[in-house]
Amino acid sequence: MTLPFYIPAPKTVQEALQQARVNERAAVLFTTGGYSWERVTGCQAGPWYRVTGPDGQTYNVDPLLNYKCSCLFRKEHKFCKHGIAVAKLEAENAVPDAWDAIACAADRIEREVREAGFAEF
């Protein structure tokens, strides 16, 4: 079994066990875990998710940046239950907007380069 690209390969048995525990929590985050999610659109960088915990704490998850999350656990470990749960959600719903957002961003950058007077690249 290979890990999804957004989860770093564990270096120790303890890291592998930790990843397994986080994955178990992520699997039920939006069903029995008490968390909710909202897909936020209208951002130039593309759609992202606001995940709200049972205590009201919110976390921002960006699927275009390897499911980067604003939680402290993600900053330390490079993965978290919020990002994994959103990745699972996107896989189940096959959200096409992520690729559309990438294409729109590329078009915008190309247009800005042309408008700035630089030669075509």
Rounded to whole angstroms, how far apart are CA atoms 71 and 79? 10
Q: Phi and psi of 62, rounded to 5°?
A: -110, 110
Task: Please give the mean pLDDT across all residues of the chain.
Answer: 84
Write out the E strands in the chain: 36-40, 48-52, 58-62, 68-69
Q: pTM for the full model?
A: 0.72
CA atoms 76, 79, 82, 83: torsion sign: positive
Rounded to whole angstroms, how far apart are CA atoms 72 and 32? 22
Let me know: does 98 contact 63? Beta carbons within 8 Å. Answer: yes
What pLDDT does residue 117 have? 77
Count of CB atoms within 10 A of residue 67's CB?
25
> How does pLDDT run across 36-91, given as a tens digit for each residue?
999 988 766 678 899 999 999 999 999 888 899 999 999 999 999 999 999 998 88
Q: Is the pLDDT of residue 95 over 70?
A: no
Let me know: does 47 contact 98? Beta carbons within 8 Å. Answer: yes
- Side-chain-side CA neighbours of residue 27 (13 Å): 6
